[in-house]
């Protein structure tokens, strides 16, 4: 009768187990996001997406092949952000696609170097107040912070970002979180109003389901996702007669320097009033 030495048995058992997820740095996180985007474009998970990974698009659960990103012919611009220690990475991009151009936000959650969840926000023409994919700026995940930038600690960045986001529901309490020269980009289009970033009353509504998806201390970046309800919309939004109530699903990338928001990149899409992001758990039912 053959006997297997304990050391050999342990080696065999470890070899038979699936490989553990490895540590993922900034470059690895960027590659994972690009691989997830490629999988959405091809509709094929391949070795990138594990079986059963959750994918949502515009607040609804979807199958990989049903994503609107499957229609992309060419990505024309992208901005990549990551917080590797939190397993968070995302892309804001513009693309030429069958059926017309699109702007998208892609959030990827990682466990080590493995994708554990995907959230997408895809905007086409006539699905938002502003839409200018041709002017979306490129930004690499490896882009270094400017030498003169003075970034705050993570909790300070979060506090400033939350103060700015509070402006959706009314004037923020305390000091103005936006710099005097803050610039707002809305679906690729720079706002024509120089005060749009400081005074977001034209976008105001009830903000809910706020999530801070990632924080990049090195570049002073906070990326938030939220839903904003507009129960009453002024007809002077740039589209005559557009005054219907709606909810807006948005991804907001804020760049913060010296304790103030310097610029904001919004990706947002109109949805039916009361729509959800699909990622905030429902409130527990009250016991009778």
Position 14 in a domain: no
> Total domain count for the chain?
2
Confidence class of residue 188 from pLDDT cuts 50, 70 and 90? Answer: very high
In tens, the pLDDT along 134-161 reads 999 887 544 445 545 566 799 999 999 9
130 lies in the same domain as 161 = no
What does the CA dihedral 254, 212, 168, 182 come to, rounded to 10 degrees? Answer: -10
112 lies in the same domain as 60 = yes
Please give the pLDDT value at position 108.
Answer: 97
65 lies in the same domain as 119 = yes
54 lies in the same domain as 109 = yes
124 lies in the same domain as 36 = yes
Site of tokens 């690729």 = 188
131 lies in the same domain as 204 = no
The Cα 213–Cα 252 span in angstroms is 10
Position 102 in a domain: yes
Position 19 in a domain: no
Q: Is there a contact between 269 and 121 (Cβ–Cβ < 8 Å)?
A: yes
Position 10 in a domain: no
Give the CATH number, domain containing residue 179: 3.10.450.50
Backbone angles phi and psi of 192, in degrees to 5: -70, -15
Give pTM, 2 decimals.
0.84
251 lies in the same domain as 206 = yes
Confidence class of residue 171 from pLDDT cuts 50, 70 and 90? Answer: low
In tens, the pLDDT along 41-53 reads 999 987 778 888 9
Position 279 in a domain: no
265 lies in the same domain as 166 = yes
Domain assignment of residue 168, given as a range? 154-271
CA 203 centroid distance within chain: 18
């Amino acid at each position: 009768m053959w006997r297997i030495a304990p050391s050999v048995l342990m080696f065999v058992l470890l070899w038979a187990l699936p490989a553990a997820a490895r540590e993922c740095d900034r470059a690895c996180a960027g590659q994972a996001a690009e691989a997830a985007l490629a999988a959405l474009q091809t509709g094929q998970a391949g070795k990138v997406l594990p079986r059963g990974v959750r994918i949502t698009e515009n607040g609804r659960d979807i199958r990989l092949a049903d994503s609107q990103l499957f229609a992309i012919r060419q990505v024309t611009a992208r901005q990549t952000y990551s917080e590797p220690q939190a397993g968070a990475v995302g892309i804001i991009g513009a693309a030429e696609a069958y059926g017309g151009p699109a702007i998208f936000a892609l959030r990827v959650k990682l466990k080590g170097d493995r994708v554990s969840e995907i959230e997408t926000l895809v905007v086409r023409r006539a699905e938002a107040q502003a839409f200018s994919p041709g002017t979306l700026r490129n930004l690499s995940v490896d882009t270094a912070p400017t030498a003169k930038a003075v970034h705050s600690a993570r909790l300070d960045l979060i506090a400033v970002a939350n103060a700015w986001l509070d402006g959706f529901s009314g004037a923020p309490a305390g000091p103005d979180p936006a710099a005097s020269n803050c610039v707002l980009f809305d679906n690729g289009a720079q706002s024509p109003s120089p005060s749009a970033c400081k005074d977001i009353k034209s976008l105001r509504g009830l903000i809910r389901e706020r999530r801070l998806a990632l924080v990049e201390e090195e570049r002073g970046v906070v990326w938030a996702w939220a839903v904003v309800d507009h129960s009453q919309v002024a007809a002077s939004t740039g589209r005559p007669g557009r005054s219907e109530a709606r909810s807006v699903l948005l991804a907001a990338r804020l760049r913060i320097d010296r304790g103030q928001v310097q610029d904001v990149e919004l990706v947002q899409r109109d949805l039916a009033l009361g729509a959800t992001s699909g990622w905030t758990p429902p409130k527990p039912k009250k016991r009778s």
